[in-house]
Structure 1
Amino acid sequence: MFKYYKIFLASIFYVISIFFYNYSSYMDYKQKEIEVVDDKLKIGAYTVYNILGEDFFKKAINKDSISQEEDWENINKLSYYNNHANLAFIYSSIKKDNKVYLTSSSASKEELEEKSELHYFHHYEDAGESLVNSFESKEILYDNYTDKWSSFRAVHIPMTLENSQVIVISAEVSMEVFNKIIDDIKYKYLEETLLYLLLTLPIIFTTYLSIKEKTLENIMMEHEVMRSEKMAALGEMIANIAHQWRQPLSVISTGVTGMKIQKEYGILNDEEFDKTCQAINDNAQYLSKTIDHFSDFIKGERNKVVFDIADNINNFLTLVQGSIKIHNINIVLDLEENIKINNYPNELLQCLFNIFNNAKDALIEKKVENKYVFISSKIKKNHVIIKIKDNAHGIANSVLPHIFEPYFTTKDKSKGTGLGLNITYNLVTKGMDGSMEAYNVSFTYNKNEYAGAEFRIELPYE
């Protein structure tokens, strides 16, 4: 009865871990989406300059510089882009006699239909403090503000023309749209968490039944721990891959939208078309490659096959690329080419994943500013040597002799089970007929001195 109680507690711990991990992923993704919105605002602001051109801004110095016909033409151009980009407004301004004047602006659909307002050299009485300050600061400024119309998030980009005139190009998105993006992320992650738990319930139930049939408690516990660690790894990899896909999908979406707008303006040339299509194809191939690597890992087949060490390491890096980017970890590779061994590629992937996670956690916990993980491989006599080291200042001498022991951990109980390195050690020594050790090292890289922990895996090479 006691062993089934342990299984129940392990299941509860697993569910709680999924919630906490997805919450952490949500916070990371929320920040990334805010950056995406800010990048979209910057693109919108620079589009004002690109559409109107520097000649316009050089002559836009007073009320009589631009005709009403030219002003309406500019309004229509800016409004066309603004509506397609789903922004609130894009505009430009200058400062004269300590007053801010609009020199161009997009317009609402009602203003376009009624031609109710000309924007050129309109005194912008409601100019926010960040817009006013941007003329002097010469820095890109972001601002959340509320005026008599609504609430907005804006970017203001100062530019100095050849004639020394300072202009500011700006773009705004309504806070209603901005907050909806954040709310959508929150609900999306909640749905994903519940869906993931729902999908894994059959696995947990199947695990329970298979363990129940075991006769020896030590076999039962080993099987459960291995499966739990693998599922935890899968949960993190799913979040990693979701993060990895956002940038390629953004490139594809931006490329298609850009070509559409360029075609409608009649400025799409063959060179730009070919370049964009190539970028779309490259990113689509990258997405396909990620699916293949994840599919190979999730199958978990224990087949002894001949595989290439460098390819295996690069496949592993593809699976953790999201975590690498989120935590700004620099990966330094020194891989000997064409090392092929007859062994278990999935087991090696799990070992690399567990060691990388320990290095990542140490780099974050010790607040290392420039984070590095070094991975090397080489042949030495009849063995393949794989080394993974970090610059997280090493492992305490009192801790180092115990790191491969089961349930030994220096982390908070909510963050670690103490089984990851024990499982890794057993996979290498018992599963792949190899050896493994860990020690502290000091080394020089790019003329800088570092200290960290190094894990050494030795596998037979036939």
Structure 2
Amino acid sequence: MKSKSLKKEILVTLLSFIIFIGTSIGFISLANFYFSKLNIIEHNQRQTLTQIEKEINKFLTQIYSLSNYLKYNYTPNNINLLKNIVDTNNNISSIIILNKNGIIEDYYADSNLNIYKGFDYSRQEYFKELKENKRDYWSNVFLSTVDEEAAISYSFRLEDKIVVLMIQLKEISDFISQFKNQDGTYMIKVFDSSGTVILNPNNPDLVLQRFNEKTQKVFIDVIDKLAPYTFSIFYSKIFEENQYGTYTSIKDTNWKVVIRESYSLILESLNEIIFAMIIIILIFVLAAIFLSLKISKRIFKSFDDLQHTAADIANGNYKSNIENSYYSEFNILINSFNKMRIEIDKREDSLEESLNSFKSLFNSTMEIIVIHNKGICVDANNVAIEFFNLKDKNDLIGKNLLDFVDDKYKELLIMNYKKNSLPYEFDLLINSKKLTCLGQDKFISINGKNLKLSTLIDITELKDKDKLLSQQSKMAAMGEMIGNIAHQWRQPLSVISTCASGIKFEKEMSVLTDERFVETLDLIVENTQYLSKTIDDFRNFFKADKKVEDFCVNESMEKVLKLLKSSIQNHNIEIETSYHKDLIINGYPNEFLQVIINILNNSKDALKNQARDKRFIKINTYMKNKKCLVQISDNGGGVDESIISKVFEPYFTTKHKSQGTGIGLYMSHQIVVEHMKGNIYMENREFIKNNNSYKGCSVTLEIPIQEESKIDYNIYHI
């Protein structure tokens, strides 16, 4: 990344700040002027609307008073009453009296052109609306049949008649014509409930044309969208420019009174203020720039001195001094800089010593350490060079470490190159010799580069020892099985021996019959077949597992109990089982058998201290939290709490050397945890059986389950 000039950065920042402050103040001031102007206009328009709304309501009150007067004083053919009301009230041009069928019974108009008594007005809006049982009705603007002028009517019921007042809005029109904008145009326009123009001093012809503005912006953007007295900008098609204003709604008639002012004129009124503000801002910015340049020149001189001195120190010239600055703060910095110059000279020697110490530590560690970038070696310690059987470091630097990795582990290492990894195992091929290593990777930063530090430990000998322990465990299990075979064979061999000696004796005594001979031979054949079956069962136990497979836990438990049947019977042990049906797990079936046999043999040895009639082992299989649990408990007295945490360690045993090697439970732990990804633990427990309390040991296996199943409870006595 290209470095930047500090002086330029400070100067640009300072000037930008000045310009920003100046323009910000200007914009804020302009915004204040703008909104102040709008506030004044809004106040004036709001006051005007309030006056007009008051005037219209006053006008409506007069109409309602006249209607009440007619209700109480009108009699049929009282033409003088109608004439007096029309002649004395400028707001009413004519009065029509309709019967219940809409026929004119009586009327008076100041200028009658087209109506007479007997005319049918039943189709007129003001008659049809009142047929719906309304009390009174204000019409929208319409073309009057009386004088063929645009008019508004107010109609109301008078017993079984309907009275229609043809309304003139001359007084209201004269009133709203008083209010003009600064460009000489009128401020006010009035619409009926349908959006048709009632009053428009700017263009009176629109009233005569009954011009409807329901689709214009004044309705779309203001009246239909906003609440009354809410101000907005909207476009006027008539004036062909944006207007600023609002409206109010007359409750009784639903008329819309709109007030507006040219938005462009509002902005033009701010032009002089804007120009003055721009001049003030420019003067402020120029003055601030001049002062900034003058001050920064003094500051930058001190910066230049520090820069030159730093360059001298970087080149190894530690005798360079800096002159005192105009500013006291810089003098403090200069004094500190001179002290730092002396300290750097001292620490340079110390750093060189530290580097040599680090190199010694890097090369003296027991682990193999390799620093690489995505597998390409950058550096390595001496242990690594010796491990890879190379002459020196240069033979490894630049090479791809994957060239030494067994093919089946290369993908694992590539994946771990991308992250900080936990310890993992993999195989290396060094001069065609396979070695097993334990590795771990961490990201480190060296000289600005993100590199990977990998540490390796050769665990080939440890893995060989594990294999030896496994073999020893199998040999110990084989010894146990041979003992079980002896127990299983003892009774059949005794029967065969008895049968053979019996028929020999009977032959010598000449008392052997054919039936006796055949019976004895059948018995011998039956027992030899039993011996053969026993051999098959034990041979299957010792068969090496070659692949991981799903198998039933309960079937494996029954197979073990069958193998150990004679030994358990000879020790007079009662077996109690509780099985959860169809518990399927994934692993090596024969290794699982070995684990169960190891646990049962430990329980059998522990029960030797109990009375022969009080020996029992409980076996439970169940499911919990999507795991298969196998719990084997005995009443053998338990294990000392001080050593119970060590029972799964290799070569640890509580038995005499002639009785145990201490690898059975260790291998069981390895099989369950490493091979089956489960867990195994031991604890002391107390049991209640037949109202008697017993103390013993419980071993629990937790293994991932494959599918859910049902409960089956059985008790076996062997």
- The TM-score normalised by the length of structure 2 is 0.31
Q: Which entry has the higher C-alpha Rg, 1 or 2?
A: 2
Q: Which has the higher helix share?
A: 1
